[in-house]
A and B are shown apart, each in its own frame.
Chain A
Amino acid sequence: MNEYVVEMKGIVKTFGEVQAVKQGEFTLRKGEIHSLIGENGAGKSTMMKLLYGMYPTNRGEILIKGQVMENLTPKLAIEHGVGMVHQEFMLVNELTVLENIILGFEPRKGLKIDFEKARKEVTHYIEQYDMEVQLDKKVSQISVGEAQRVEIIKTLMRGADIIILDEPTAVLTPQEARRLFEILDNLKKDQKSLVFISHKLNEVMEISDRISVMRQGIHMGTVNKEETSPLDLTKRMIGREVFLNIDKAYGKAGKTILEVRDVWVSSQKETSKIRGMSLAVKEGEIVGIAGIDGNGQSELAEAITGLRKVEKGTVLLNGQDITNLKPRAVREAGLAHIPEDRNTRGLNRAMTIEENLVAVRLDQPPFTNKHLLNKASHDTYAAEMISQFDIRPTDYRLPTSSLSGGNAQKVVVAREVSMNKKLLIASQPTRGVDVGAIELIRNTLEQAKKQGAGILLISAELEEIISLSDRIVVVHEGKITGEMPASEANENNLGLLMMGGHDKTGEISEKGKAGEHTV
């Protein structure tokens, strides 16, 4: 009956008030590659960190090789054969590859480290799985792909037969990813059990035996690869919840307010996260950016608003070149921005509701009086915003850290929308907020549009994109794969484009299998 090497049942994990995993289920068979997919923040990494013992679970049961694990720690997990290759490598740059691999459990000969024995052991693994690693180079001198192989060898040396890889391909070039897949195949043939975390569907379809999908912390099902398609997986990942219909005033779109021309942007981890995007937003229209999370949407918003460097290309706001201007200059040129992360960017949680509301108006009268803060006008304005946007509690002297997600987001929306700028960038405006706040925020956006603002809407909720936008632009791996009026859009044709295909024939999965990077 013990067919699984890992079983995770009814897992719940909360961080403070955030529920990272609400209902997690996962099983792993011996000698399989099991992919865990979902958007950013769906709880994939958290689930696996729980399995590796990095955090305690709030509820639920974890079994490794049939044994119930209580108070799991990384040490215990390693003892039971679990190894994890993290997104950020944990290597010492100044040591050689060999030294890194044996660090912490060096084989000894008397008082000295037995490098001969270590080298023999490591070489054994390298040959067995065809890994190609130069043992005597320093880690600072090797490529990212090689460093990743070093991490895999490290887990093997510690006796792992269950190996978790957390988004291993995010940092790799396509060629390196190919090498990795060969190695994973070799490991699988040797009866190692692998967990592969990703949100890139073509990769998942290529190497998995089974695939589990998570959305917003909930297990959305596990399927065999043969029984699914990228389209089916996309639907499970992004879900469909239609509970709101705004009567959309299609429209009298005016002149072009935002123009993005062939923009290239790097992210923290990947160079060229955005590879040549061009798009335009007109006055009085909402342009929705659809795409699976992590395909360059965040970087696009940051690049336009001056928070991230544009490597190549230009951004025009109302005809003015705002490429690589400071955030302040960009704002002054006529832009407001609802950022995707309200807790770090959107709000200063150490300050009060009032102070957060005035943050972007600080230097303009009547909020300032020759460098002095005009407290009276702050009070009036804060009271006005609180009643207009129904922010609760209504005491503006409270710190924003005491607000619920929905009310915190309302503070951000109130501050940005009330600027009445010609262009509004709205990133994930309703992520993680309650239904009431969703409705208020969506109506606010609609209202802003009616008053002539151009809105660039980035959202992981396909339903939100379809119901709010006039035009929809679809992105995949940093490129635009399609554009259509919202009236023609549905989950199927958007879903296809989100996976990178521009044809509507559904042959995308075959291309994915062939391993070509479709654009």
Chain B
Amino acid sequence: MSQSMKGLRKIVITMLVALGIGALFIMAIGENPLDAYIALFKGAFNGKLRLGTTLAGFTPLLLTSAAFAVAAQAGAFNVGVEGEVFLGGITAAYIGINWTFLPKPLLYLACFLGAMVIAAAWAFIPAALKAFYGVSEVCTTILMNTVAVYITSYLVSGPMSAGTANPQTLPVNVTLFQFMKPSSANLGILIAIGVVLLVIFMLHKTNWGYKIRTVGTNPAHADYVGISSRKVFIGSMMLSGMLGGIAGCIEVLGVHGYFLNNFATGLGSNGMLAALIVKSNMIFTPFMAFFLAVLKAGAMGMQQTTGVPKALVDTITAVFIIIATMETAFQFNSRRKKKKEEQA
């Protein structure tokens, strides 16, 4: 427990340092950093619309960051979450539009299950290539992202097009209740939180979770005790894909009500960032996702009320990552120093 307290403290400090460096940038362009941050905070929380927008932005980020982190538990580096979000979204749209023969409750279920199945199947491809042929999943997932985006682009501009000027599909027949109108915050947030809690429970309390953690920390040991590192690797990648698929489904049913071309750009990579900053710690990842969501949502408010461009938020995020990586470098450095002293 003290270990995670230490981790938490580190994250808070990193957060403050990142904001501090951001403040320097704000001063450099001649604005008051305090005003800017207050504007940012207000932009994210002040009022129903703003708070709702923050929550709506947080929902997919929570899922995509958990998706990246859960794959990382088994030692996989899944850059493909974004593609999985797109495919999950288009699948949910297809089912939601066409399977009207199902009663409504079942249609909801079908949308989510369909999104999960297709996204998991998509994630299976790079996972199997890695497990059986040693092809780097980093490369394949990056490449497959582009493929996934173009598949959905084709579908939404062609066979599934609603015929509007913007490439988008017809509206789906089931939607998730938006509880903070006019923002697009919707019941999907509860689903997302539930799913992530379930994943955390699974990782620490079930056999499968134990196996994922074993494979992620020592695959040779896993094989020796009779845990197939390949199977578990593939399984965790597919689980990661499922989470991405759920994110896509929630975006379509909850936010838009139809599939919109390029609707999920950046969701996968932002989720990955959130997970990477906290080294894919499953407990901290959701908090980091929330922090990033707040930054993103508040940025517009900051730009409107002060002269600080919203791109500053990207700078803060980048500084954040640099510090997180530097910390590893520092650890390495101090270890080396210690070694040298021992030798002397």
Contacts and interface: CB of A to CB of B under 8 A. Distances in A.
Interface of A: 56, 58, 305, 307, 326-328, 331-332, 337, 339, 344-351, 355, 359-360, 362-363, 368, 371-373, 375
Interface in B18-77: none
Given A56-B343, A327-B223, A331-B226, A348 B210 contact: no
Nearest to A58: B343
Nearest to A302: B224
Interface stretch (B136-144, B212-220, B257-265): B212-220
A307 B228 CA distance: 11
B220 to A, nearest CB: 5
Contact of B217 (A332, A351, A371): A351
B284 interface: no
Given A344-B220, A348-B217, A348-B218, A360 B225 contact: yes
A327 to B, nearest CB: 5
Which 9 A-B pairs rank lowest in CB-CB distance, beginning with the nearest? Answer: A328-B226, A350-B217, A359-B225, A348-B218, A345-B224, A348-B221, A360-B225, A344-B220, A331-B226
Given A351-B217, A359-B214, A326 B228 contact: yes
A347 B224 CA distance: 10
B305 interface: no
B22 to A, nearest CB: 35
Contacts of A360: 225-226
Contacts of A328: 226-228
A409 to B, nearest CB: 14
A151 B209 CA distance: 47
B206 A372 contact: yes
A350 B218 contact: yes
B319 to A, nearest CB: 30
Contacts of A307: 223-224
B314 to A, nearest CB: 34
Contacts of B343: 56, 58
A348 to B, nearest CB: 4
A372 B213 CA distance: 15
A88 B74 CA distance: 29
Nearest to B217: A350
Contacts of A363: 207
B211 interface: yes
A339 B224 contact: yes
Given A307-B224, A355-B210, 10 more contacts: A56-B343, A307-B223, A326-B226, A327-B223, A327-B226, A339-B224, A345-B220, A346-B221, A348-B217, A373-B206
B6 interface: no
Interface of B: 205-211, 213-214, 217-218, 220-228, 343
Contacts of B223: 307, 327
Contacts of B206: 371-373
Contact of A372 (B205, B217, B220, B227): B205
Contacts of A371: 206-208
Contact of B221 (A332, A347, A372, A375): A347
Contacts of B205: 372-373, 375
A61 to B, nearest CB: 14
A306 to B, nearest CB: 9
B221 A362 contact: no
Among B210, B221, B222, B228, the one with the most A-chain Cβ atoms within 10 Å of its Cβ is B221
Contacts of B213: 351
16 contacts: A307-B224, A327-B223, A327-B224, A327-B225, A328-B227, A339-B224, A344-B220, A345-B224, A348-B218, A348-B221, A350-B218, A360-B226, A362-B210, A368-B207, A371-B208, A375-B205
A345 B210 CA distance: 17
B221 A345 contact: yes
Contacts of A58: 343
Contacts of B217: 348-351
A346 B224 contact: yes
A263 to B, nearest CB: 20
A347 B222 CA distance: 9
Contacts of B228: 326, 328
Contacts of A339: 224
A347 B220 CA distance: 9
Contact of B211 (A305, A344, A362): A362
Contacts of A305: 224
A144 to B, nearest CB: 22
A299 to B, nearest CB: 15
A337 B205 CA distance: 27
Contacts of A326: 226, 228
Among B223, B225, B228, B343, the one with the most A-chain Cβ atoms within 10 Å of its Cβ is B225
Nearest to A375: B205
Contact of B207 (A327, A345, A347, A362): A362
Contacts of A344: 218, 220-221
A166 B208 CA distance: 43
B222 to A, nearest CB: 8
A325 to B, nearest CB: 11
Contacts of B221: 344-348, 359
Given A368-B207, A371-B208, A348 B214 contact: yes
Nearest to A355: B210
A296 B222 CA distance: 23
Nearest to A339: B224
A331 B228 CA distance: 13
Contacts of B218: 344, 347-350
B14 to A, nearest CB: 23
B199 to A, nearest CB: 14
Nearest to A330: B226
Contacts of B224: 305, 307, 327, 337, 339, 345-346
A373 B207 contact: yes
A257 B9 CA distance: 56
A348 B227 CA distance: 13
A443 to B, nearest CB: 24
Among B208, B209, B220, B222, the one with the most A-chain Cβ atoms within 10 Å of its Cβ is B220
